[in-house]
A and B are shown apart, each in its own frame.
Chain A
Amino acid sequence: MNTTQQAKINLLQYIFIIHGIQLGIGLITLPGEMAKIAGTDGWIAIILGGVISIIASVIIILLMKKYPNGTIIDLVAHYFGNWARKLAAIIFVGYFALITAVTLIHVILFIQLWILPFTNIYILFLLMMIPMFMLVSHDVHILGRYAVFVFFMSFWLVLIYLMPLKYANFLHLLPIIKEGWAPVLEAVEKAIYSYLGFEIALFLYPYLDKKEYAMRGVIIANILSILAFTIVTIIVFTFYSPDEITIFSEPALTILKVIELKFIERLEIIFFSFYLFIISTTIIPYLFFTVYCTKRLFLKKFHRLHVFIFFAFTFIYIVYIPPTFFQNMTVKNFAEKTGFVIGFFFSIVLWLIVTVLDLKKQRSLPK
């Protein structure tokens, strides 16, 4: 059952697809969330969360090495048979579709609040749909090229955060571990959700041309994400007073309103417009693999039809349940918890089972 022989991606594309998924909405929501739970110690939770995500990624690569020429669905089919393949595909379709839709709606709500307050949500949805549709209609190496392009086009956005540094006071970070480790560890759970995206390695691995670098690649992707999250969070924490930071719902966005260049005001609008590209690299790969999974279930030939069906369902969803931030957040929490279970527990348990099965097989083989 090899479906992945045609398209290949190189290491750079592999790194940036994973990093691109991780670096999404989290970049602006994470500092506020961390401050609410752990105060100005939140940045420690982000680093710890990153380390845990690296460990999980390493286990995923170890798991995928057992069946290097197929995705996780092929691997499950290989070990457990056809019914397991269908079950796995259904689970992944559910998870990917949910997280794609939720992120998409979140972005649309953000755009509406910050940039286009009078534009109808359906029109924003249609606008987002077109480029997504065009990218997802092709193969995985197009995703790779897009991810690399977006990374180099937009990594200056993180550098923009260096500009409010002149107002920053690093004393706000002291003392480190002020309330003990308990709130920090509590915040780690939230922080891990922002690193979701490494689980795409379960699908990306077979496409990589040089598999010996898979481990290194996924670690580099994680480290890039850790750096981006930590830099932004520390700058936000040093800028605001620890008492006021929790007053803002998105401190990382409000901070941008301070930057004012001689020739441009309201830089946050330009920032946000570019930021859409960063978020698109989260949504598009997820959408691509949603479609990949549905294709494994039925109607293999009609790739574009699957994309259309997804959009139709999402559209019906936003028509019947007009999204609000609060309601979308509830669904998002559920999607993130699912991702947590899939990325961590599912991969670790599966890896253990597969290792045991392999050992058994080796023993039963006559020498």
Chain B
Amino acid sequence: MKRFRWLFFMTIIFLTGCGQNIPIENLAITLILGIDLDENNEFIFAELSPMFNEDEKKNVDTYVVKARSIRDSRKYFDALETGNVTAAKIQILLIGKKILEQKHWYRILDTIYRNPNFSLNSNVVMVDGDIRDIILYDSEEKSQLALHLKEVIENNVHRTSTINSTLITFHRALYGKEQTAMLPRIYKDKNLIIEGTALLDQNGKYVGDLSIQQTSLLLILRNEKNKELTLSLPLTSLKKDDGIFSENEISMEVFRAKRKIKSTYENGKFHFDIDIKLTGNIVEHLFPLDGISQKDLEKAIEKQLQLEFQQLIDKIQQNQIDPIGLGIYARAFHYDQYKKVNENWGKELSKAKISVNVEFIINSMGAVR
């Protein structure tokens, strides 16, 4: 009898949480949150949430409000929407380019990291244009916009053509002084297109874009080759491009990418020697390879890759940024020198000497000769 008394007492206490249950129909689960500045440079917040009510015709709801901060925006969303707005399931955070052009804009994200309810695995994406175009994008056609965007990003990450920028990795790049942040870039043409990477400087300010191929090269430099990686190159050294076909085009499927970084400090300058060793199959070439030995082909590919890497590094140094994370090496191996320039690492890196040495090994030429 005594035991049962305890059990009864316990059950009653455990029931306390049940008074506050919320049926899913009454929840507005935000899947996409967008932040941007409008024409008058005031913050606007946009969100997209699915509807679980069967009687509704639409299956997603989108709203745009003006507010002073993310948390502040919640009360306006609450005023608009059917259910309680919850931010715990945000899949994608869209940030307008206009915001990224401000210095220290990232303070607006504070609540995301401060409030334990937020998921830190949401993808952060830069919107080239107005976020309203993306959020209000014909929702009947793409009723699963959040899912669609998430899938596209995931596939591109899988193919090493965009970076996997979640809130937590983004935070590391923003606040860690030894590297600078970058974001996948989305824009609306006729469709929504996720393409390339936006580069940010040490203050989080937007400085430039990378194309898809350049993003892949950057990911090789970061040693972050994912499952698949295809590089396409024009081999101008072998054949001149004439006619409508790009007749010097060659594509390789790289299945092994190794990177080695050696760093030294000489004469008041950092030196970084980056050795890259790629192994891959030729999957496409639009010109005959008569009289060209495999060795020569490898040489030509190496030369072209070297050129493209160098262009990428020039771009990085011009903008005084460090998306590769070379600062991590500087800190680990030249701590005393690095400490002096910690606050201005991007500037210091622009003075550094970075040389890339590419080695390409052809594994197979494919099924046709």
Interface residues, chain A, CB within 8 Å of chain B? 113-114, 116-120, 123, 126-127, 130, 167, 169, 171-172, 174-175, 178, 240-244, 247-248, 253-254, 257-258, 260, 265-266
Contacts and interface: CB of A to CB of B under 8 A. Distances in A.
Contacts of B329: 171
B176 A243 contact: yes
Given A130-B10, A169-B328, A254-B120, A175 B335 contact: yes
Interface stretch (B66-74, B165-173, B265-273, B315-323): B165-173
Contacts of B289: none
B36 interface: no
A266 B119 contact: yes
Given A119-B16, A119-B17, A171-B329, A242 B121 contact: no
Contacts of A175: 332-333, 335
B177 interface: yes
B16 to A, nearest CB: 5
Contacts of A241: 172-173, 175-179
Contacts of A113: 116
B178 A258 contact: no
B292 interface: no
B88 A266 contact: yes
B20 interface: yes
A114 B178 contact: no
A217 B37 CA distance: 63
A265 B119 contact: yes
Given A114-B116, A266-B88, A242 B332 contact: no
Contacts of B17: 116, 119
Nearest to B179: A241
Contacts of B16: 119-120, 123
Contact of B328 (A114, A120, A172, A258): A172
A174 B332 CA distance: 5
B182 to A, nearest CB: 15
Nearest to A131: B10
Interface in B142-168: 166, 168
A244 B176 contact: yes
A258 B171 CA distance: 12
21 contacts: A113-B116, A114-B116, A118-B20, A119-B16, A123-B16, A127-B13, A127-B14, A130-B9, A130-B10, A167-B169, A171-B329, A172-B328, A174-B333, A241-B176, A241-B177, A242-B176, A242-B331, A243-B177, A247-B113, A257-B121, A265-B119
A258 B164 CA distance: 13
Contacts of B89: 265
A175 B169 CA distance: 23
A119 B113 CA distance: 22
Interface in B9-49: 9-10, 13-14, 16-17, 20
Contacts of B88: 266
Contacts of B10: 130
A214 B178 CA distance: 49
A259 to B, nearest CB: 9
B74 to A, nearest CB: 15
A118 B178 CA distance: 40
B333 A243 contact: no
Given A241-B175, A241-B178, A243-B177, A260 B332 contact: no
B317 to A, nearest CB: 21
Of the candidates B9, B14, B175, the one having the most CB atoms from chain A within 10 angstroms of its own CB is B175
Contacts of B117: 117
Contacts of A247: 113, 175
B114 to A, nearest CB: 9
A12 to B, nearest CB: 29
Nearest to A134: B6
Contacts of B178: 241, 243
Interface in B69-113: 88-89, 113
B176 A258 contact: no
B32 to A, nearest CB: 16
Contacts of B121: 257-258, 260, 265
A202 to B, nearest CB: 33
Interface string B181-210: 000000000000000000000000000000
A186 B10 CA distance: 46
B279 to A, nearest CB: 22
A171 B332 contact: yes
A240 B172 contact: yes
Given A123-B16, A126-B13, A127-B13, A244 B332 contact: no
B335 A178 contact: yes
B4 to A, nearest CB: 14
Nearest to A250: B116
Contacts of A253: 116
A116 B13 CA distance: 14
Contacts of B177: 241, 243
A243 B332 contact: no
Contact of A171 (B168, B174, B175, B328): B328
Given A171-B332, A175-B335, A258-B121, A244 B171 contact: yes
B158 to A, nearest CB: 15
A29 to B, nearest CB: 15
B353 to A, nearest CB: 20
Contacts of B176: 240-244
A171 B20 CA distance: 47
